[in-house]
Structure 1
C-alpha cells in the first residue's frame, strides 16, 4: 500500500465569507462572555465578546475613513498588546489585507518588505522599529480612537480572495510573503478535533506574544471562532510564572513552543493544574524527554502538530486520536497528505519520503506575493512539497525524519541560514560565513555563525552588527572563527559538518 492519507474532503467554505466575521460569529450570542483575558501577576485585563467585536468593527470603519480601500495592503508594526489582533481583524473586516509582522524585526528588514509589497500604509506603535517612509502611517493613538466608531459592514465575498499575508524564511534565503485566502480560517476547523479537542467551554492559554502568528491563530482566532476564552500572558511575564497563571485563571488547554515547556520544567519539579486537560506544542519538534518530564511533573499529555506558514498545521495528535510513540500524529480528517519519492510518486507505507499536502487543501496558501514562480516550483503534480521528510504507517501515523533543506529552527521560528548569511556576509573582515543551528544542551538549539577571516574578529562587535541587521530570533548567539568552511567536492557548504565542529569544540578539554 502507498503512503497516502485521504478520508474525503473537508466541508467546503461557505460563500460569501469574511474571515473576521467568522471569527466573531459568536459575539452577539455570547456578548457578555469573556473572550480575552490578558493575565498578569497583579491582575487581568478582560475583554467581553461584545467589547471585542465593537473594537474590531470600529477599527474597520476607522481604517476606511483614513482613506484605505478594500484590497489595500497594510503592514502591521505593532507591539505585544491587544491592539495587534484588533487591528488585524479590523482590517480584514473592512476588506483590507493586513501583514502581521514580528516587533523584533529591524527597520532594515521592514524596508525590504515595503519594497516588495508596496503597501498602502503602515499601522505602527512608535516604539516598534520601522524605517522612514512617505507612506501613510497610523499610530496606536489613532487606532485606539477608532474603537468607538460605528461598526463597519462586514466585507463579504469570495472565500478564495486574499485576506492576509505572513512572512516566512524561504530556502532561497529571501523572506517570502505568503498570501492566504479568507478560507484559511475555515480550514482551521480541522484542527479543532484533530489537534486541540477545542470546545466553547475551554479557556486556552497561549504562551506567545500577540504579534506571533502561532499565537494569533492557535491562541486567539481559533478559540474565538468556537466561543471559547483566550488567555494571553501580559508582556514581561516569565515562563516560570505561567503555571501560577494557568491555575489562577483556570486554563483548560495550554499552548506553547517546546522551549517554553523546557523553561517551565527548569523551575518546577511538580505542577498543580487542576483544570488543565492537556497541552499543545508546535513550531519545532518536541523531544520525548521534555514530553515525559512534563507528564511526570503533573502537566498531563502534550499533543504535537506539524505544519508550516504555507498551510498552518495539518498533521497532529489529539485527545481523540493520540499519536503513536515517536510519531507526530495523523493528518487531520479532511486533509489529503502523502509521502513522496523524488519523482513525486507516493512511496510504499513505511518508507521515507517528502511530506506533501494536496494542492486543493483549503488551508494551502494562494502563493507567494511577487514570486509565484517559486510557489509553483514547490508543486509536484497535485502535491505541495513541504521540504520535510517523514514516513507513514498503515494507521496514517506520520513520523518526522529530517529536514530536506538546511532550514533552522529558532524558538519555533523557521529561519533560513541563507537569509542570515546574506545579512552578515559583508561585515568588515569576514571573507566567508556559514550559519546553522547547533545543540547547546539537551533539547535546546541556537543559531551559530562560522566565518573565515585573516584573524579572529571581535565577537562582541559581530553581535552588535547582527542586532542592527536581524531580528533577535535570527541573530547568531555565537561566532566561530575557522581557517576554512567545510565543503563537499562540488563546493557546497556542509552545514552538518559545522554542527560537528561545534560539538567537537564543546567537548574539547
Structure 2
C-alpha cells in the first residue's frame, strides 16, 4: 500500500524517537508530535508496514501448548477480509461497535478492521456481566457487538437494535464471524479518515463512581502511544509480552499501538490461572525481549524462582499502579535488569516514565516523556509547585490526551480547568525533574495533622516477606482524627495470626517514622475493580462503618499498642564489673 503524507509524518516522528532511544535530553527537547489532518493508523501505518512483510506481528501461546503466529502481511489481509464482511453487514463510518473478546486472533483482526472502516471501538472485557453491558450498549450508543460465542447469552437481556456477531461455535440469531474469511482480501475505504475523528470510547474502571466514557481519536491513541513506545524502549524485531486483559486501555497501550508502532511482535501467553514458573518457562522458550506487567504480577513473580529465566528480557517495565522499590530490587538482583516505572491513564498515553538509558532513582517514576509538559499544581492555591497534582499544560496540548469525557461536558470542564488537564494524582518533583508518586488526591489523608501517603507506607509493608499485597487507608481515631491502617494479603506459607501481626508491626517500627507508622492492620482480600486496581474507597467506607463506636474494636483487627517493643536492658554504669 502506498505511503501517505500522514504515513511519512508519523514515520519521521517515530524514527526520531528510535534514533534517540537513550538520549532523553535531546528526545525531550526536540521531539514534536506529527501534525496530521487525515490519518487512519490501520491503513496508513499498519498496512504500509505489512506490505510483503512476513515477520511475526502476533504470537499467541495457549496453556495447552497450542500456538498461533501471524505475520504483519497475514494480519493485514485477514483484517481486510473482516472489514469487507462487516461492511456487508452494515457497519458504517462512525458506527459504534462493542468488542468483547479474550486474547485471541479475532480481537486484533477486529481492531484493525474497525479502524479501516472508520467505525468507533468500545472495548469491553469478557468479565463484564449483563448489567455492565446494558450500560455499555446504552451510553455507548452501540450499533454492533463482536463477542465470543460463550458470552453471547449475556446479551439476552441487553435491549437495543444492534448487529450481533459471535466468534466461535454458531449461536442462533447471531452472525458467524468465521464467514468473514470468505470475503475478498483487498479493501478499499469509502473515504478519508480525519485524524480527529473518534476512534475509541473507553469506559474507565470506576474506582469511585460510575465509569466515565473516555473519548480518543485516530491520532490521540495510535499516534500518542509513540510516548509509550519510547518509554518501553521497543524496537523493530522485539518480542514484547504485556500482561493485560483486553477491554482496558493498557491492553491497547502495550498489546496494539506501542509494539506495532515499533514494528515489534506482540507476544501473548494465555492461562486459566496465573502460574509464575510456567510463564517464565514460556518467556525463555520464545525469546521474549521486552516485558511489561502490572504490580500485582510483578509481586507474584518475585515469589517464584526468577533466576530460572536464563535469558531475561532486555527491557522490563511496570504500569497500572506504582511499583514498590522492594520489587524492583529483587528483579534487578535476579535478572540484572531494572524495572522502569511509567505513569499514564486511560485518558492519556504515558506522561511520566523512567526511559531507557537514564538513571533510575529509587521510588521515582521518572520524568515527563517527550511530547508532554507536566506541571505539579497545588490543589488549594492553583499555583505550580514542587509538590502537587500531576497536571498537563494545555497551552502545549499533548497529542496523547483524550478529547474529553464523552457526553459529559461538566466532567470534561472540571478535568480541563484552569488551563491544565488534571490527573487526580499527586507527586513531588526534585531538582532534576524526577517525579515521585504520592498517591491519588482522594487517597492521601491526614493523621495527627501529618499528611500520609498510602503508597509510601505500602512500599514499606511489602518489603516484609509475609506481605504479598497491601492497601493503607485512614481508620477513624478519637484522638488523632485518623490513624494509618493496613489491609494485607499474606504471602504463601504465612498465617493470619498474632505472631504474623507482631512481626509486621516490628518491621514498621524499624522502617517508618513514628508519625507514619501503621497503627492497625487486618488480614483480608483486597477489593479491586474489574481491571485489578485496589478500591481503597471501599476500604475507607468500611472503616467508617466499623468504627461508628469509637470504643469498639472490629473483629480481626490488630493494633500496634497490643505489641509493645521489648524493653532493652539498661547499660551497666561505667567501670562496673560484668555480672558473674
**When the two structures are superposed, what TM-score results if normalisation uses the length of structure 2?**
0.69
SS at match of 1:329: strand
Matches within 5 A, 1:212-291: 212-236=248-272, 238-240=274-276, 241-274=278-311, 276-291=313-328
What corresponds to 1:356 in structure 2? 391
Match among 202, 208, 212 for residue 238 of structure 2:
202
Q: Distance in 1 between matches of 2:332 and 2:115?
A: 40
Q: Distance in 2 between matches of 1:306 and 1:140?
A: 34
Q: What are structure 2's unaligned runs of at least 5 residues?
A: 1-26, 169-175, 445-453, 456-472, 474-484, 492-524, 564-580
What corresponds to 2:34 in structure 1? 12
What corresponds to 1:450 in structure 2? none
Alpha-carbon contact 2:123-2:246 (below 8 Å) kept: no
CA displacement, residues 456-478 of structure 1 (integer Å, 9 cap, x when unaligned)? xxxxxxx9xx99xx858589899
Q: Distance in 2 between matches of 1:307 and 1:475?
A: 17
Matches within 5 A, 1:360-375: 360-375=397-412
Match among 188, 191, 197 for residue 153 of structure 1:
188
Cα distance, 1:321–1:473 mapped onto 2, change above 3 Å:
closer
RMSD, matched Cα: 3.5
Question: How far did 1:217 drift?
Answer: 2.0
Match among 159, 164, 167 for residue 140 of structure 1:
167
Q: Distance in 1 between matches of 2:554 and 2:197?
A: 48
What corresponds to 2:72 in structure 1? 49
Higher RCO, 1 or 2 (CA under 8 Å, sep at least 6)?
1
Q: Distance in 2 between matches of 1:391 and 1:475?
A: 22
What corresponds to 2:123 in structure 1? 100
Question: How far did 1:85 drift?
Answer: 2.0
Match among 36, 41, 58 for residue 36 of structure 1:
58
Alpha-carbon contact 1:23-1:221 (below 8 Å) kept: no
What corresponds to 1:439 in structure 2? 488
What corresponds to 2:437 in structure 1? 400
Question: How far did 1:172 drift?
Answer: 5.8
Cα distance, 1:255–1:269 mapped onto 2, change above 3 Å:
closer
Q: Distance in 2 between matches of 1:374 and 1:37?
A: 40
**When the two structures are superposed, what TM-score results if normalisation uses the length of structure 1?**
0.78
Cα distance, 1:89–1:298 mapped onto 2, change above 3 Å:
same
Cα distance, 1:137–1:40 mapped onto 2, change above 3 Å:
closer
May I ask how many residue pairs the two structures share in their alignment? 444
Cα distance, 1:31–1:341 mapped onto 2, change above 3 Å:
same
Alpha-carbon contact 1:205-1:251 (below 8 Å) kept: yes
Match among 196, 199, 203 for residue 167 of structure 1:
203
Q: Distance in 1 between matches of 2:269 and 2:377?
A: 41
Matches within 5 A, 1:426-505: 438-441=487-490, 471=530, 473=532, 484-486=545-547, 504-505=557-558
Alpha-carbon contact 1:273-1:299 (below 8 Å) kept: no
Structure with greater strand share of residues:
1
CA displacement, residues 426-455 of structure 1 (integer Å, 9 cap, x when unaligned)? xxxxxxxxxx9943348xxxxxxxxxxxxx
Alpha-carbon contact 1:335-1:361 (below 8 Å) kept: yes
Q: Distance in 2 between matches of 1:344 and 1:361?
A: 24
Cα distance, 1:343–1:34 mapped onto 2, change above 3 Å:
same
Question: How far did 1:385 drift?
Answer: 0.4
